Amino acid sequence: MQMRWLQRLWPAREPSIRAANTADAPALAVVHASSFHIAWDAAEFERLLAERLTRALVATDGPAGPVVGFILTRGVAPETEILSVAVAPRWRRQGLARRLVDGALGRLAAEGYTTVFLEVEEGNGGARRLYERAGFHEIGRRAGYYRTAAGTPASAIVMRRDLT
């Protein structure tokens, strides 16, 4: 009963996906800081978003709402690489990252990109499952590529997805 009353006051909004622009840089930095132990700042995101080779989507809380997730890719066609994907903690496990990945892959394919690569930390089970479910497969490993939050070395798994 109380739930219905709350829903009338604050109706649930469906997250939306749209292309990112440089004005989103501060919001991307906030989501990134909530998701990784080495944070990229707003200036870094602004530089990346302004680059010709970068493609980026954001997930927002409703069509005009705040940014709650993003995906960034960068590369020269026909190959590109996923640089980062993140969803703010309270929005996780609702299919948002999958929507961002699928949305990015669809747009990249339409632009003529044929191959997408990424690196993911071996111990990041959630991200590995996300990528496997989105059709990526492991093509190699790089020992000691990452440092964990505790400072210990961790391997990167290199994954690939063909878009054709």
Ligand X SMILES: CC(C)(COP(=O)(O)OP(=O)(O)OC[C@H]1O[C@@H](n2cnc3c(N)ncnc32)[C@H](O)[C@@H]1OP(=O)(O)O)[C@@H](O)C(=O)NCCC(=O)NCCS
User: Which residues make up the interface to ligand X (CB under 6 A)?
Assistant: 35-36, 85-87, 92-98, 120, 124-127, 129-130, 133
What is d(CA 88, CA 5) in angstroms, rounded to the nearest whole number?
Answer: 26
Give least dist CB 32 to ligand X, A. Answer: 8
Nearer to ligand X, 58 or 97 (CB): 97
Give least dist CB 45 to ligand X, A. Answer: 15
Give least dist CB 154 to ligand X, A. Answer: 12
What is d(CA 91, CA 21) in angstroms, rounded to the nearest whole number?
Answer: 21
Q: Which of 81, 66, 82, 74 is nearest to 31 (CA)?
A: 66
Helix (H, G, I), strand (E, B) or coil at 72: strand
Nearer to ligand X, 129 or 142 (CB): 129
Nearer to ligand X, 25 or 101 (CB): 101
Residue in the structure block whose two tokens are 């699928």: 102
